[in-house]
Each structure stands twice: as structure tokens, then as C-alpha cells.
Amino acid sequence: MTIPFAVPECRVAHLVERHDDSLVVPVRLDAASGRCPECGQASRSVHGRYHRHPADLPLSASRTTLRIEVRRFYCRNPTCRRRTFAETPLTLLTLRARRTRRLCEAQARVGRACGGAGGARLLAHLHMPASRATVLRLVTHLPMPDAPTPIRVGIDDWAIRKGSRYGTIVVDLDRRRVVDLLPDRTAPTVAGWLERHSGVALVARDRSIEYARGASLGAPQARQVADRWHLLTNMRQAVERWLAQPTSVLDESEAAVVSRVEQDDTAQAVAGLARRFTALVRAAGKGKPLADDQDAAADIVAWITKARTCEASAIATFASGLEADIAAVRPALTEPWSSGQAEGQVNRLTLIKRQCYGRAGLDLLKRRMVLAA
């Protein structure tokens, strides 16, 4: 039977043994001599032979096992501690491996996409069986890519355990790929990551104080951009807090409340401020003409000045917060970047967590997110 595939460093025999649903491919190593791993001296003196039986990629619809004839050589160097050594096809196998490198890579890629249990079920159908523990082990041994230092990043928090522990996801906005997962969402952790990646020039974030402080400490040269969606959300929350305040002016009846809100001077001021702020934020973003820096700065400063004098304390507090974070709010109206990509990657991360039934550690989640990008 002709072998339709090559085995690195080996010479494949033309006879394949069939065993039920599996194939055994006898192979021999091509090298005429071996080299001692201790002293590096070559030797042609054969001590003996034995066979290794690593699993390999399936052939057609059958599991495939290689039967490699391995020679053991004498080491003729009198100063070497080794008396004998065995030849090893390092391109094909690692030391004491029970599967070839290419089979490991294929199984690891399936595990990266499907997880442990799901990957094990799929591999059984693909005639590359492996236990779920083995699949996860292969995924954790995959090398991390050498990605270039990102220039523009988006950061956002994600729930390791909802309501208890939260981490941080870092996304390269230019390459649209996850760069890293951090174990918490504190300022020192974010600052430490930014210090290790000194080429970051822009950080898109929500309005978290920890993220603002971490970006300022770790990358003082970087421009911070507040996320526009969070700005609108904060505006809505400020209006909701004002409406939730107990007051004797508003009646309990819904109709009376609506009628009173339409006539109240404070309500009119709040509504006007909310509409103006929403218009400023929605005028920015990708696919829209960028506002002039000076015009945008003047508009947002004028809005903050007016909002701080509003009789609604929730709106005045919100305006004070914007003023404190003006260095990130102003670019949100002029830059096309936001942390929207990070939000989308958080949704994908949540799906992977659910596939792992919430039991995946940070290292496994990081590899599945970064390597799948």
C-alpha cells in the first residue's frame, strides 16, 4: 500500500498493517549515525534496536500509529558519562512522547476552539481520540504568539465570578484582537501592564476611576478616550437618580407625574441638558465626520458649566465628574476610537466561560482568547 503522506526524518515502508479500525505504519529513521546528547559525538556503533509506537494523524477514516524502529548506539567518547544513547526524531517527536508533534498540534487546535469535553467528543469522531484532560493540557502547552506592541488599546472589565471577582480584558483596537487578560481591574495591575508595553499611545476605557488612574500611572504619554456608550449610560443614570429622588411636588398618579414634569422648570432644564449632551456624543464616532477639537472642547465645556448650575443635584454631580475626567471626555467627541471592541470580546469570553462550565482558569481562558484571534 502506498503511503500518501510523509513522516519527517523517517523512511516509510510500503506495507501498512491493518488492525480493525486502525493502521500501523512501519518507519525507519533516515540518519546513518546517531549523535550523543551528552557530548555531541557521532557514533555508528549500534547497540540494539527497539520500537516506539506513537499515534499520528489519521489516514482516511482510520486511526494511525507509527511503528518506529529506533537504534541505540554506543558512545565511543571515553570521557562521556553515557555508555549508550537512543536516536530520536526531534522534528517528529519529543522525548518520551506517545503522539507526534503534528497530532499534538491538531488536537490542541480542536481543544482551543471547542474546549476540553467538547474537543474530546469531536476528536473521537475525527479518529484522533484524546481525553478531555489531555486536550486541555495540550492547549495550555501551546506557545503564545509574539504579537507586536499595540498602539491603541481598549480595556474593559469582565466577570471571573459575577458579583465577586472581576478581571480586565485588553484589546488591540487596530488589529481587532485580544492581547491579554488581567486577573483583576485595579489601577496597579493596569498600570503594570501598560508599563511593560511602553508603545501604547491611546487607551479607550469606560469611566472607571481605577482604569483612569491605572492609565495615568502606567502610560502617562497615552491619550485616554472615554467610551461614548458609557457617557450616554452615565447621563441616563443621572436623570434616573434625579427622578428617583422623593419630592412633594410630584403626585403619585402616573398621569399627574407626566403632567407635572412637562410643566416643571427643573424638569425642562434637565431634559434640555440631556438632549444636548446626547446630541454631542452621538455626533461623534466611526463613520461620522470628526468634530474640530476646539469646537468640541468648547461645546462640552459650555455644557458642563451650564449643568453644574442645574437645580437637579444628580445632574450637577454628573457634570462635576465629567469635568474631573475632561482629558478623556474631550477625545471621546473627536476621536473615532472607543472600547466597543472590548465589549464585544467580553461577550465572546463569556461564551467560552460557559462552554467550560465556569471552571476554566485564567491561563486557559487567556490562551483560548488570544490564540483564537
Q: Reduce the DSSP state of residue 110 to 3 states and report it.
A: helix
Give residue-wise pLDDT tens across range 86-129: 988 888 888 888 999 999 999 999 999 998 999 999 999 999 99
pLDDT at 121: 94
**CA–CA gap between residue 303 and residue 238 (Å, rounded):** 15
Mean pLDDT for 353-362 is 85
Q: Reduce the DSSP state of residue 354 to 3 states and report it.
A: helix
Give residue-wise pLDDT tens across range 327-343: 999 988 888 898 899 99
pLDDT at 246 > cutoff 70: no
Mean pLDDT for 271-299 is 77
Question: How many CB atoms within 10 Å of residue 347?
Answer: 9
- Cell of residue 173, nine digits: 483596537
Pairing state between β 34-35 and 62-74? unpaired
Question: How many CB atoms within 10 Å of residue 142?
Answer: 17
Give the lowest-confidence range in 1-5, 148-152, 192-196, 273-277.
1-5
pTM (2 decimals)?
Answer: 0.78
Residue with cell 469606560: 206
pLDDT at 25 > cutoff 90: no
**What residues does each domain of the chain span?**
1-95, 99-142, 228-337
φ, ψ (nearest 5 deg) of residue 230: -70, -30
Q: Reduce the DSSP state of residue 171 to 3 states and report it.
A: strand
**What mean pLDDT value characterizes the chain?**
86
Give residue-wise pLDDT tens across range 175-196: 999 999 999 999 999 999 999 9
pLDDT at 1 > cutoff 50: no
Q: Which of 139, 138, 111 is nearest to 123 (CA)?
A: 111
Give 80's contacts (C-beta < 8 A, 6+ positions apart): 36, 38, 39, 41
pLDDT at 60 > cutoff 90: no
